[in-house]
Amino acid sequence: MYRMIIRLAVCCSCMLSPSWVYAQDAIRDLVVKIHATHHSPDLLRPWTKGSPRQISGSGVVIDGKRILTNAHVVKYASQIYLQPNQSASYIPARVVAITPGMDLALLKLDDESFFDHRGTLSFAQELPRVKDSINVYGYPTGGTELSVTQGIVSRIEYTDYYYQANGLRIQVDAALNFGNSGGPAVSDGKLVGLVFSLIQNAQNIGYLIPVEEIQLFLKDIADGVYDGKPQFYDLVQTVENDALRQRLGLPKGINGIMVAQPYRDQPGYPLQEWDVITKIGDTPIDSGVLSRAEVCEERSSTADNLSRWSADTNQLAGALRTRTRNSVLDG
């Protein structure tokens, strides 16, 4: 059966403890419905724009009097309005930061009285565990009131997002529908992720952007500029084979991944065929399986260096500095 991952923006009984009931009530006031008028570009006639479309999604209040949502909910939007829970008011909003690749966006309001007497949704301090229970809040199709669905975390993995970006992703089995995009997923009263997609024609397979990726985004834009994540296009392979290690001259205790085909075959490109990348920042790379989740955190730190074993000299060479725009490595 053909299946497609789709984004969730909409085109035009269990016993709970008193503390959790209170937390649910507080969370409800922090989740908003987002109405946006999209004017997507016409790729066949780039001097014009497509016909306007009305899109709706969800968002959540975070610290700094900001609204967190998905990029695809507000991308190409000429008008954005927030509708608070159980309110008929429409509050104008504007995009202050966006990353289409990781599908995240931040909104600000000109009238910040909306935030009076409202708290913020705190972030979880670590990834949830598989089988942990979560509650998803949002405004999906099928009604006008806030919807809350329950499920469990079924998978956590490092994978591709959009526009060649990649990062951690949480799979959940909570019921998600069009309009849930940008809504928070909550566990123990803390934000663990933001809804952004599902697999159509599959049963209860939805995806969250975890808090770890959200925090990297917020940290990146703190200086007013989104730099993004470094990309790595060189083709690599593992080096656990004894014959290959002998060919490379790798001593015992040196592990990593070997460059099978450099991204650029030109003088001055710092990685050569047969080079072995041993560390990214301070994170060692195992010869068997690259811990991509650790690399995701490390490569967004201040280090962002690649350590390598040189095939030419059969010894550890100097670190290579990564960049976040255009080129992947500084020559």
Terminal CA-CA length for the chain: 46
In degrees, rounded to 5, the angle at the alpha carbon of residue 298 between the alpha carbons of residues 317 and 164 is: 95
Q: Exposed, middle or buried: residue 110 (CB in 10 Å: 0-12, 13-18, 19+)?
A: exposed
CB 282 within 8 A of CB 304: no
Whether 39 sits among the annotated catalytic residues: the reply is no
Query: Considering 181, 197, 300, 307, which one is annotated as catalytic?
Result: 181
Active-site residue, selected from the candidate residues 58, 72, 197, 220: 72
Catalytic residue among 35, 56, 103, 287: 103
Beta strand pairing call for 10-11 and 53-62: antiparallel
Find out whether 74 and 92 touch, Cβ atoms under 8 Å.
no
* φ/ψ (deg, to 5) at 284: -65, 150
C-beta of residue 58 within 8 angstroms of C-beta of residue 172: no
CA dihedral 229, 235, 236, 242 (to 10 degrees): -170
CA 4 centroid distance within chain: 19
Could you tell me where the DSSP H helices lie in 221-277?
242-248
The alpha carbon of 235 is separated from its chain's Cα centroid by a whole number of angstroms, namely: 24
List b or e across 123-161, with b for residues whose CB sees 16 or more CB atoms inside 10 angstroms: bbeebbeeebebbbbbbbeeeeebbbbebbbbebeeeeb
DSSP calls for 269-297: -S--TT-EEEEETTEE--SSS--HHHHHH
Whether 330 is catalytic: no
Do 216 and 234 contact (CB within 8 A), yes or no?
Answer: no
Query: What is the Cα gyration radius of the chain?
Result: 23
**Count of other CB atoms within 10 angstroms of residue 95:** 17
**Residues β-bridged to residue 87:** none
Q: Is 220 a catalytic residue?
A: no
Q: Which residues are catalytic?
A: 72, 103, 181
